[in-house]
Structure 1
Amino acid sequence: MVLIDDFLYHYRANELSATHKYAEDFDDNRMRLLEVLGNVAAIMDHKIEEMQKKHSDIIERDLMDFAVVAASGVIVNKYYHKASPLSPLGRWKASDQYLKNTFIDKSIHSINFHELTNKNKLRVGFMKLKLYGLLAVSSRLNRRGGQNAK
């Protein structure tokens, strides 16, 4: 075994594969596929529209919950990562700027605090109070606790 710094790629052409065969009806097959996919897309659009009408509040709440968790993940795993080149103040500023995204800001400030898990209550609280360093520390402590519990 030898380790080299080059990225190598081996391509094996199979002359019997569908991509190498001439298909006289290739265009017809593609048109049928497009028709089927168009019908599926129309059905999905209709179903999604029905679901949004019936459950729009639930969908929006779930999306906001996801936005909060995703935003905290960006802060912890990017701006407060040990390999981040940012200064402590730079980390704070970058986190604060990131959370100014309209949807994320709306999610953090309009989420129903009482419906959150304790972990997410901490996340939201730290983000509302702009205590991003504490968010990162609590996240790391939580991970370590989870690893020790295994």
Structure 2
Amino acid sequence: MKKAFPFVDIPDQYKEIIGEAAPGTRLYKTVGDRQQFRAWSDAVFEICAGEGAVSPGGASLYTYATRAGVHKRLKEGRLTGFCFSITTDSKLIKGRKTLEEGGRPYVYIPYSECKAWASELEERSKFEDIDSIKSEAAGSKKDLDDSFMLPSKDWRKKLK
């Protein structure tokens, strides 16, 4: 019998701070200024209390998966991710906000979920063909595209 994956629980008091999950995933995305980033970061580390969180690169190192494999799992809703894109005032249009770094977000993944995934891969390797496990953990070239982590097109409407 397959056991349920131990996703982190998202307490109600943090849902407004961390944003909404993209449909069909556990990828919570939001935008805000640097002050809001502090509150968001504090909330993420409260949610991931105890073990903390890592970047997608850190998750790939821990699980022996590739970064594409981590992205694939995030897109499929089989891993929780928290994304925050920082806004700044436009230099060209007064009163308009733009995204720093082209909107590339800061991303955290709960360390506890990385440990559970690594354990799952090790357990499966005892019973399954290693090539199928490697292909899941490796992802594909198209999974390397991280544009799914960018804020939605209507991010300005959602600014607080």
Q: What's the TM-score, normalizing by structure 2? A: 0.27
Q: Larger strand proportion, structure 1 or 2?
A: 2
Larger Rg: 1
Q: What's the TM-score, normalizing by structure 1? A: 0.28
Higher relative contact order (CA 8 A, sep 6+): 2
